[in-house]
Amino acid sequence: MDHNKLALPVGTTLDRFIMRKQEDFPYATGELSQLLRDIALAAKIVNREINRSGLIDIAGAYGSQNIQGEDQQKLDVIANIRFIRALRNGGEVCTIISEEDEDMIQTGNNQGKYVVAIDPLDGSSNIDVNVSIGTIFSIYRRISPTGTEGTEQDCLQTGTHQVAAGYVIYGSSTMLVYTTGNGVNGFTYENSLGEFFLSHPHITTPKTGAIYSINEGSSEYFSEGTAAFVAHCKQQGYSARYIGSLVADFHRNLLKGGIYMYPATKKAPNGKLRLMYECNALAFIVEQAGGKSSNGRSRTLEQTPQSLHERSPLFIGSTELVEKAEEFLAAEYSDALASL
Ligand code: AHG
Ligand code: MN
Ligand code: MN
């Protein structure tokens, strides 16, 4: 492969970048490229809705709960509709898993080769207070033959099988960051032109960092290992940073170095975050950027998913910090074994 081709100048549009990348794969049919463009289009629409949400009546609660029993916000529902519509109209996706829908969504495109898992709006609690929120997506190639509906087996593939993953952060600027397994690239949205431009080529995450991100309001429910690791972060003089939008916390730590944690707690034995459309996508990205992601004991991407909405603990970010967290948790497990 000619790596010079990948060294595109900053300022390249997302569409052009996707097209150039496709040229590196002579047998590519262009379907994945089209799928990424569909996601970018929906992201632009959702970005517009978010930007004006204070002006039109789409802030606040929708009045129902999703499959997780969490209150849906109006923007959760709007973002879900926008992404599903874009994926359905695009035609490359046979089946979607969404945080907002209990069952798999059959798009009716049985010829579609791909399955998408999506958290349409991440950081719901921050929607109404002008704090960064996001979208997370994960893409798999279906296993079942085309021409039929996608199956649960297509949807429940291990994270190592992802063909692409990414997120959109609706922040002080809106960015789309994605990987197709050949590095991570970030694109910043230019509002007046309506385009994403390559602004962060070849993102690599620092090997270590001085930021730890965890909801310490739950510390009463932390395991000994988690509590000990958080104490260690404080002893090291690390800064605590926690926005409460996974995408935003992850994005900051990806660029600056650090660790984000949503551990298993006594209240939530599998943590809170969802494996298929939160953990795996970010794990793929962080690994591609040179970082690490773990459930505290083993690699996130190797967990075998059992159900569409299952949860997993998450320790993600700079390799040295994630390994250190694993050390503290391993000590906890061996103590527990010794006391049996
Ligand atoms: P979502 O809005 O998609 O339900 O995700 C919320 C998640 C995640 O974004 C964030 O990191 C975490 O919930 C915060 O949870 P706590 O309030 O328990 O810290
Ligand atoms: Mn989320
Ligand atoms: Mn969500």
Q: Write the residue with the smallest CA distance to atom 6 of ligand 1.
A: 123
Q: Is the CB of 271 under 6 A from ligand 1?
A: no
Q: What residues contact 326, with CB distance under 8 A and at least 6 apart?
A: 294, 296, 297, 315
Count the alpha carbons within 13 Å of 63 in the hemisphere toward its beta carbon.
1
Q: Is the CB of 316 under 6 A from ligand 1?
A: no
pLDDT at 128: 84
Q: Write the residue with the smallest CA distance to atom 15 of ligand 1.
A: 244
- What band does 28 get if pLDDT is binned at 50, 70 and 90? confident
User: Is 125 assigned a ligand-binding role in the annotation?
Assistant: yes
3-state SS class at 214: coil
| Residue 205 in domain | no
Q: Is the CB of 272 under 6 A from ligand 1?
A: yes
Do 80 and 187 lie in one domain? The reply is: yes
Q: Is the CB of 71 under 6 A from ligand 1?
A: no
CA angle 303, 309, 314 (to 5 degrees): 50
Rg (CA), the chain: 20
pLDDT at 115: 98
Do 100 and 169 lie in one domain? The reply is: yes
Site of tokens 């509002």: 191
Q: What is the pTM of this model?
A: 0.93
- What band does 335 get if pLDDT is binned at 50, 70 and 90? low
CA dihedral of residues 60, 61, 62, 67 (deg, nearest 10): 140
Give the domain extent around 193: 11-200
pLDDT at 73: 77
Determine the Cα–Cα distance for residues 244 and 249; give it in Å rounded to an integer: 7
Q: Is the CB of 95 under 6 A from ligand 1?
A: no
Do 194 and 67 lie in one domain? The reply is: yes
243-297 confidence digits (pLDDT tens): 999 999 999 999 999 999 999 999 999 999 999 999 999 999 999 999 999 999 9
| Residue 315 in domain | yes
Distance 207 CA to ligand 3 centre (A): 29
Residue 329 corresponds to which tokens in the numbers above?
């948790």
Do 34 and 75 lie in one domain? The reply is: yes
Distance 278 CA to ligand 3 centre (A): 9
Q: Is the CB of 245 under 6 A from ligand 1?
A: yes
118-160 confidence digits (pLDDT tens): 999 999 889 889 999 999 999 999 999 999 999 999 999 999 9
Do 180 and 329 lie in one domain? The reply is: no
Site of tokens 């802030």: 59
Determine the Cα–Cα distance for residues 319 and 299; give it in Å rounded to an integer: 12
Q: State how far Cα 34 lies from the chain centre.
A: 20
Of all residues in the chain, the percent with pLDDT exceeding 90 is 81
Q: Is the CB of 253 under 6 A from ligand 1?
A: no
CA dihedral of residues 138, 212, 314, 219 (deg, nearest 10): -140
Determine the Cα–Cα distance for residues 316 and 165; give it in Å rounded to an integer: 16
- What band does 58 get if pLDDT is binned at 50, 70 and 90? low
Distance 237 CA to ligand 3 centre (A): 32
Query: CATH number, domain at 121?
Result: 3.30.540.10
Maximum alpha-carbon separation in the chain = 63
Of 168, 200, 232, the position where a domain reaches its end is 200
Do 163 and 260 lie in one domain? The reply is: no
Nearest partner of 51 among 255, 249, 189, 241, judged by Cα: 189
Do 23 and 90 lie in one domain? The reply is: yes
> Does the structure show a pLDDT above 70 at 1?
no
> Does the structure show a pLDDT above 80 at 336?
no
Do 96 and 33 lie in one domain? The reply is: yes
Do 175 and 253 lie in one domain? The reply is: no
- Are 293 and 243 within 8 A, CB to CB? no
**Mutation probe of ligand 1 site: the residue of 262, 266, 274, 314 with most atoms within 8 A of C-beta:** 262
Distance 338 CA to ligand 1 centre (A): 34
- The count of structural domains within the chain is 2
Do 235 and 193 lie in one domain? The reply is: no
Query: CATH number, domain at 221?
Result: 3.40.190.80
235-246 confidence digits (pLDDT tens): 999 999 999 999
**Mutation probe of ligand 1 site: the residue of 66, 73, 219, 246 with most atoms within 8 A of C-beta:** 246
| Residue 1 in domain | no
Q: Write the residue with the smallest CA distance to atom 3 of ligand 1.
A: 122
